[in-house]
Structure 1
Amino acid sequence: MMKIRSRQKGVFAIELFFVLIALISIFYFMTDISDKLLARAQLDRGSFALANILKERSRYYDERLPLNASDETDMQTLASRLLDTTPGSVAIKIEALHNKATLNAFESNEYKNLGCEAAGLDTKSELAPVENGVIFSLYQVTLCQQENSWFTQLWGNSGASTMTITSSSVVVGR
């Protein structure tokens, strides 16, 4: 009986080490996921706010429906303020669909560089309501941002240590 006990010295410390490594890994993984969810929530709020601003702008700009380059720079500036970053680092795409046919779209350079993917507004033309023969406009704002993954860096996977998070909001115009 004494021989068995003497061979088991240190076993508890080894088992505790493995359990602690597993718990720390789970905690790190959950923290990484919560960080991504917070980033997604920030993008959701930003894209929804910007889409509503696009919708309301026709009220204040003499019913001007088509988007132009100044709308793009204005939206990029507002997005940078919402996301607390510089205007040049905002990945944004704004789209407007009028009469289910006329599509205006602008993409920032960062949007193209990150390779953001989102369903275009032209595929959502059936969402436009029709009332008394009047087809309402649709506006879509897509924001995306690249986030570092702490968990993959912990495990030494440097090849896929970043991920792109995308959020789109579609609203009906007036």
Structure 2
Amino acid sequence: MNNNFLNRVSFFRQSKKGSVTIEFALTLMILVIVFAFLADLVVQRSTQAKLDNTSLSLVSILRERVQLYSDNGNAALTDGTTGAAGGFSVVGSSDGDLNQYIQLANLMLFGDRNANKVKVTLERFSPDSKQYDKVSNSSACEPYKPLNKLEHLSPRSETNNLRKIPLYQVTLCVEVNSFFQSMIAQKGTVSNGFLRSSTFAPARAK
């Protein structure tokens, strides 16, 4: 009986029936994982690039409040409940700052200002008065670093060396379905599961 058992074990070890099928199945599984990873990588990188370009464009608009509202960086940002500062609207409505930039972000990223797919956080910090305000449509969309922690990056005014220029920051977040986000995403580009981009700029001083 022992010999019969040993013979069967030996036959099983030496038999090559079905080995090609098994090898093909394993190879195909590995290829599927590799292609899924590459597709995930392309989507993540392209989405991140769009977010970076959009946040840069929006903070460039936000810093021009001195031209739009005669605001030298001292007026608080509005969330839509009090209306836009100075009655000016960059999207042709009377919404506050936050609602305007939500519409702009959706328009630039998805071609539809009412897409409602982008989370937006706007920040303002005045180094001289230490005033910091933030408006957002989602608590999950947090900036990589709060703007009041970046005071050391504020330049001094060319006309008044004692005055430091106020700072603005725009943070955009979108949801991206990804199996490999924890492996692909770079440090600082993820906020509570959302892909994130934060860009800051000094106000355009008078």
Q: TM-score range by the shorter chain?
A: 0.7 to 0.9
% same residue = 28
Corresponding position: 1:92 with 2:116 = no
Look up the match of 1:146.
175
**Other structure's SS at 2:37 match:** helix
Q: Conserved in 1, the CA contact under 8 Å of 2:121 and 2:141? A: no
Q: Conserved in 2, the CA contact under 8 Å of 1:79 and 1:87? A: no
Say what the alpha-carbon RMSD is for the aligned residues: 2.4
How many angstroms does 1:166 deviate by? 1.2
Map 1:125-144 → 2, pairs under 5 A: 125-131=151-157, 132-144=161-173
Comparing both structures, which one devotes a greater share of its residues to strand? Answer: 1
Corresponding position: 1:73 with 2:99 = yes
TM-score norm. by structure 1 comes to 0.79
Question: Which stretches in structure 1 are left out of the alignment for 5+ residues?
Answer: 153-161
User: Which one-letter code corresponds to 2:148 in the other structure?
Assistant: D
Comparing both structures, which one devotes a greater share of its residues to helix? Answer: 1
Change in Cα spacing, 1:25 to 1:104, as seen in structure 2 (3 Å) is same
User: Which one-letter code corresponds to 2:18 in the other structure?
Assistant: G
Give the alignment partner of residue 122 of structure 1, picking from 139, 148, 158: 148
Separation in 2 of the partners of 1:103 and 1:16?
60
How many angstroms does 1:150 deviate by? 4.9
Q: Conserved in 1, the CA contact under 8 Å of 2:168 and 2:200? A: yes
Q: Which runs of 4+ in 1 moved over 3 A?
A: none
User: Which one-letter code corresponds to 2:69 in the other structure?
Assistant: Y
Change in Cα spacing, 1:31 to 1:89, as seen in structure 2 (3 Å) is closer
Measured against aligned partners, the alpha-carbon deviations of 1:46-65 in whole angstroms (never above 9, x if no partner) come to 11111110011322322353
Change in Cα spacing, 1:62 to 1:87, as seen in structure 2 (3 Å) is farther
Question: Which stretches in structure 2 are left out of the alignment for 5+ residues?
Answer: 1-10, 80-95, 182-191
How many angstroms does 1:121 deviate by? 0.5
Separation in 2 of the partners of 1:87 and 1:22?
37
User: Which one-letter code corresponds to 1:134 in the other structure?
Assistant: R
**Structure index of larger Rg:** 2
User: Which one-letter code corresponds to 1:68 in the other structure?
Assistant: T
Measured against aligned partners, the alpha-carbon deviations of 1:56-80 in whole angstroms (never above 9, x if no partner) come to 1322322353223422221111111
User: Which one-letter code corresponds to 1:11 in the other structure?
Assistant: S
